[in-house]
Amino acid sequence: MSDAIDFAKFVKYSKSGPRYTSYPTAVEFTQNWQDNDYMQALNRADKLLDLPLSLYVHLPFCRSACYFCGCNSIYTSKEEKKQRYIAYLAKELALLADSMDTSRKVVQFHFGGGTPTFFNAKELESVIALVRKTFPHFASDAEVSCEVDPRFFERDQMKVLRENGFNRLSFGVQDFNEQVQNAIHRHQSVEIVKRAVELAREFGILSINFDLIYGLPFQNLETFKQTLHLVVSLSPDRLAIFNYAHLPWMKKTMRKIDETTLPTPQQKLEILKNTIAFLQANEYAMIGMDHFAKTSDELYLAKVQHQLRRNFQGYTTRGFSQTIGIGLTSISEGVDYYSQNFKDMALYEQALDSHRLPVERGVKLTEEDILRKEVIMGLMNNLSLDFASIEEKFHINFKEYFAKELASLKEYEDAQLLEITSSGITTSPTGGMLIRNIAMTFDAYLVADSKRFSKTI
């Protein structure tokens, strides 16, 4: 298959589809799953020897709304709300300590939001202390990371993070163009981001990620070129460059965006094409879907060795770990379940006041789910699939079991987007960028033309 990416094939395949941070996807979670189900799942997981832990703590508050954002956030300027939230995190952690073996090894710890750095240094230190008291055994090489809004990032916060073992930071950048920033209600200059990067480097942070978005209002090829030049001048180690998902029927703040100012599909393709070429010329390699890393970064090395894995925090070089979601709306993942906390603060607090884990919904995976999850995540992680590993783990003949799905992939094979051999599936460079479409073939839950998901392109 050709090494070139054929963008002419892209438009045809644009459809609504999951990003597959989980399988089954979150839309399949149900309220039939409650706190007792989660406690039983935690008990089952404790019996799996050597299964490490990944901790995710959601800090939901933001000073104001960014109109493009699809995250679960609460907008406030009141200090007492943050203090109250920390008190409830303490209650949740105490319940977790009573419900599972918290002495197991932690290989990942991630602060997400909201805006984690909207919490001041003392507040961040309080949350970290609570987490480390509950889960005391961090691996010496644990990935410890925090999402950072450069507009809310001070030296004393950086000091607290570094003293507590944080070794990765992800800065929300999105776009440097002033007109775009005005339209999305997020104003931050290159100078603000540069100061944040310099501060992180001063404290020895060797892994810095930037989040960018293409498809925002008023973006075009030339404006995003300028943003990319500025981004590369700041030398982040990794880049996550997402296709803007405009879902105003799901996120009210997105209704503030004038849809007539959004770039056309053709313009978005031009932006994407230039982005890939520009980054590759500047020694950034594509890592799965939406992600790039310097060729010296361990994420790139893991990709070359087919050792990448995705979870709700993004791509990781670690193997499978049990994710414990802590805080409002956070999602937990085990071998055979997903569990999500309440999104509504009042219900979250009410559950904890009643000495119950604040579980709103989730799902217990069937054997079929676990098999299809392995296939879909294998494709999403490595842009390829080895039949033998699936066959050995699940005692099936892959080509017989998935005969219908492989037949459906014939269209992609004929278009030279992938190759199916006796040993597996390998995507072309173009096919790798359509990996969501390819993975959707193996999704047993997918509803045609569902508006529950963003466009794959």
**Does residue 440 form part of some domain?**
yes
Q: Is the pLDDT of residue 61 over 80?
A: yes
How large is the C-alpha radius of gyration of the chain? 22
What mean pLDDT comes out for the span 339-349?
97
Average pLDDT over the chain, rounded to an integer: 91
Strand pairing of 314-316 and 309-311? antiparallel
For residue 55, what are the β-bridge partners? 109, 324
CATH of residue 439's domain is 1.10.10.920
Q: Which of 326, 347, 380 is the last residue of a domain?
A: 326
Cβ-Cβ contacts under 8 Å for 380 (sequence gap 6 or more): 20, 288, 289, 310, 435, 436, 439
Report H helices in 218-366.
Answer: 221-234, 265-281, 298-304, 345-353
**Does residue 170 form part of some domain?**
yes
What mean pLDDT comes out for the span 311-316?
75
Cβ-Cβ contacts under 8 Å for 25 (sequence gap 6 or more): 18, 443, 445, 453
Q: Domain limits at 413?
A: 367-444
For residue 242, what are the β-bridge partners? 213
For residue range 153-188, what is the model confidence (pLDDT) as tens digits?
A: 999 999 999 999 999 999 999 999 999 999 999 999
Q: Which of 264, 299, 326 is the last residue of a domain?
A: 326
Closest CA to 114 of 61, 184, 170: 61
How confident is residue 309, by pLDDT bands cut at 50, 70 and 90? confident
pLDDT attached to residue 456 = 52
Among 36-50, 79-93, 306-320, 375-389, the least confident range:
306-320
3-state secondary structure of 358: coil
**Does residue 362 form part of some domain?**
no
Same-domain pairing of 264 and 131:
yes
What mean pLDDT comes out for the span 281-309?
85
CB neighbourhood size of 255 (10 A): 12
How confident is residue 50, by pLDDT bands cut at 50, 70 and 90? confident
CB neighbourhood size of 321 (10 A): 21
Q: Find the helix or strand (DSSP H, E) in which 192 lies.
A: helix 190-202
Q: What is the 3-state secondary structure (H, E, C) of 139-173?
A: EEEEEEEEEECCCCCCHHHHHHHHHCCCCEEEEEE
For residue range 197-227, what is the model confidence (pLDDT) as tens digits?
A: 999 999 999 999 999 999 999 999 999 999 9
The pTM (predicted TM-score) of the whole model is 0.91
Q: Is the pLDDT of residue 397 over 90?
A: yes
